[in-house]
Amino acid sequence: MTEEIKMKKLPLLILAGSLLGVYLYAKKNGVKQVPAPPKSTGKSRIFQTVYTVPEFQAVLSSPIGLKGNLFTGFARLGDENSNEVANSLWKAVDQVDDSEVGVVIVDISERNMELVNRYVIDTVPMIRVLRKGLFEGNEAWRGGEDIEKWVESVLKK
């Protein structure tokens, strides 16, 4: 009789152990969290972070990608410096009161090397401005400058 009860409880014990393992893994220090983009409060558009080339192509084919100014941040999400730049860029573009301005963050990984080469990303994090889907080689933020002021100066051009 005791053996039969043990066999009935075995699946429950396995499930409980698995759930405990998942919980402990998620709570483990060192697992970096990726910030979510804020909800836009102005007229500008904040796109979700993209992880693949097709996702980025979809953003480029949006009205802002085709007709406006798209601030594109290239970052390694999970990296503290990249996360700070992404948050600052989201905040700066959100303050712009123009419906033809948007921002998207592209996660730099091996599957996105095509984008790294196409947009000449020589440092990470880096921000490029795409005007009507195209970029000018000299318009890039590489660090050292206040992002909000840089966004304002780019939009004045």
Helix (H) or strand (E) holding 151: helix 147-156
User: Rounded distance, CA 3 to CA 65, Å?
Assistant: 66
- At 39, list the tokens: 């909800």
Average pLDDT along the chain: 82
Query: What is the fold of 45-156?
Result: Glutaredoxin (3.40.30)
In this predicted structure, what is the pLDDT of residue 97? Answer: 86
For the whole model, what pTM was predicted? 0.73
The Cβ of residue 43 has, within 10 Å, a number of other Cβ atoms equal to: 12
Query: pLDDT per residue over 57-99, tens digit each?
Result: 999 999 988 999 999 999 998 888 899 999 999 999 988 888 8
Neighbours of 68 (CB within 10 A): 19
Question: What percent of the chain is modeled with pLDDT above 70?
Answer: 80
Neighbour-count burial for 102-131, b at 16+ CB within 10 Å, e otherwise? bbbbbbbeeebeebbeebebeebbbbbbbe
Q: What is the pLDDT of residues 13-42, one digit of tens each?
A: 777 777 666 666 655 555 455 555 666 677
Residues 6+ apart with CB under 8 A from 39: 46
Handedness of CA 26, 82, 67, 58 (dihedral sign): negative
